[in-house]
Amino acid sequence: MSVPRAPASVPGVLLQCLSALLILSLLAQFFIAGMSAMTNPEWWSYHRSWVAIFQWLVVPMPFVAWFAGSPRKLRMILATLPLIQIAMQYVLVHRALDGRLPSGVGLHALNGALVLIVAVLLTAGYGESRH
């Protein structure tokens, strides 16, 4: 016998939709980065262009998470992480490209994978109450 779940709030569903879009965007970004690194460096311009489009998905996530109701703490932490992580992406890659942090490119890729994990947790409703 399964335990019935409380009906999802509109902000909760919106957060899951934003997270799902972020997952799809990140998978496309991984593909584009791989194409750039392994087959054709001209794909790098697509990598830069695509991030300029999908990075805005993370901006409303903390606000939407707040309005999704109680409990808030874990959901707010998870919904704020992608915003911080996207900012870190810029810092890591730019420090690597200007020579101040050579490992920044590897950390940039690793952080991208961590953003994907956080987005999957949010899409799955991790941090929501299970009444």
How confident is the model over 25-79, as pLDDT tens digits?
999 999 999 999 999 999 999 999 999 999 999 999 999 999 998 888 999 999 9
User: 18 near 57, Cβ under 8 Å?
Assistant: yes
Q: How confident is the model at residue 8 (pLDDT cuts 50, 70, 90)?
A: confident
Q: How confident is the model at residue 110 (pLDDT cuts 50, 70, 90)?
A: very high
Per-residue pLDDT at 6? 54
Per-residue pLDDT at 129? 66
Tokens of 25: 């965007």
Domain of residue 107: give its range.
10-123
5 has pLDDT over 60: no
Asked if residue 131 belongs to a domain, the reply is no
Report the C-alpha gap between 35 and 9 in whole angstroms.
39
Asked if residue 2 belongs to a domain, the reply is no
Q: What is the rounded average pLDDT for all residues in the chain?
A: 91
Q: What is the DSSP letter of 49?
A: H
Tokens of 34: 């791989």
* 11-33: average pLDDT: 97
Establish how many alpha carbons lie within 13 A of residue 68's alpha carbon, considering only the half-sphere containing its beta carbon: 30
Q: How confident is the model at residue 131 (pLDDT cuts 50, 70, 90)?
A: very low
Report the C-alpha gap between 112 and 130 in whole angstroms.
29
Q: What is the DSSP letter of 2?
A: P
Packed helices 104-123 and 10-38: angle between N→C axes, nearest 10 degrees: 150
Least confident of 1-15, 62-76, 93-107, 109-123: 1-15
CB count, 10 Å around CB of 89?
20
How many structural domains compose the chain? Answer: 1
* 113-123: average pLDDT: 97
Report the C-alpha gap between 35 and 52 in whole angstroms.
18
Tokens of 110: 């690793």
Asked if residue 75 belongs to a domain, the reply is yes
Asked if residue 1 belongs to a domain, the reply is no
User: 126 near 73, Cβ under 8 Å?
Assistant: no
- What SS3 class is residue 127? coil
Asked if residue 49 belongs to a domain, the reply is yes
Asked if residue 4 belongs to a domain, the reply is no
Asked if residue 79 belongs to a domain, the reply is yes
Q: How confident is the model at residue 126 (pLDDT cuts 50, 70, 90)?
A: confident
Asked if residue 61 belongs to a domain, the reply is yes
